[in-house]
Chain A
Amino acid sequence: DAGVIQSPRHEVTEMGQEVTLRCKPISGHNSLFWYRQTMMRGLELLIYFNNNVPIDDSGMPEDRFSAKMPNASFSTLKIQPSEPRDSAVYFCASSYKGATTEAFFGQGTRLTVV
C-alpha cells in the first residue's frame, strides 16, 4: 500500500477561487481525518468521518469549507471561495477505528491563496 495519498501536493490560487483537495485513505481503514497545519495554531482537526459518515465537523472554520466522502476510498475538502487566510498545509489521515490503532498521514497539500 502506498499509504495515504493526497493531491495536489501544492496549490496556488487566487482569492475567490474554488479549491478542491483530494485524499485517498489506506485500504481497509474506516476513519478519515482532515487537519489544517499553521505555525500559529498547530494541527487543527477540521472534520472526521467514520465509515464514510461525517461524525464531527465542529472544526470547520466557516461555511466556505465543506468535505465529502462518497466512498471508502476517496474524500475531498473544498474551499469556496478561498481567502488568503486559508493558506496552510492541509493533511489527510486515516486509521482503523479500533483500540490503540495509529493514524497514518498523507504528505499534505500546501495551499497558498494570493
Chain B
Amino acid sequence: AQRVTQPEKLLSVFKGAPVELKCNYSYSGSPELFWYVQYSRQRLQLLLRHISRESIKGFTADLNKGETSFHLKKPFAQEEDSAMYYCALRGGGNKLVFGAGTILRVKS
C-alpha cells in the first residue's frame, strides 16, 4: 500500500529562519516523490520532484530511502513561502497519493 505521512498540520517560523517540512512514506516499490504547494486562492501546483534533484524557490528535498523520508527544506524562509504544502508519492499504475498537508506560516 502507498502511504504518505506529514506529521505537522501547522509550522510557524519567522522570516529568515530555516524551514523543514517533514514527509515520510510507505511503499514497497521504487517511489517517485513530489512536493506540491497551494498558495492562497491558487491551484495546487508542483513545487519539485525528487528525480530532478532541483532547487525551486530556494527549496530542496532529498529522498532518503533508509529513513523513507522526503523532507522539504529551505535555509531562509520568506513571507511569500506561506502556503499549504503537500508531499505526494506516485506508485504503480500512476496512482498518486498525498499526505494530509502542512500549513507553513512565515511571520515577519
Contacts and interface: CB of A to CB of B under 8 A. Distances in A.
A77 B40 CA distance: 25
B6 to A, nearest CB: 8
Interface in B41-59: 43-46, 49, 51-52
A42 B94 contact: no
B54 to A, nearest CB: 11
Contacts of B99: 42-43
A20 B45 CA distance: 25
A41 interface: yes
A97 B100 CA distance: 24
B11 to A, nearest CB: 14
Interface stretch (A8-16, A65-73, A80-88, A98-106): A98-106
Nearest to A30: B94
A44 B99 CA distance: 8
> Could you say which of A35, A43, A50 has the most chain B C-beta atoms within 10 Å of its C-beta?
A43
Contacts of B62: none
Contact of A100 (B49, B96, B97): B49
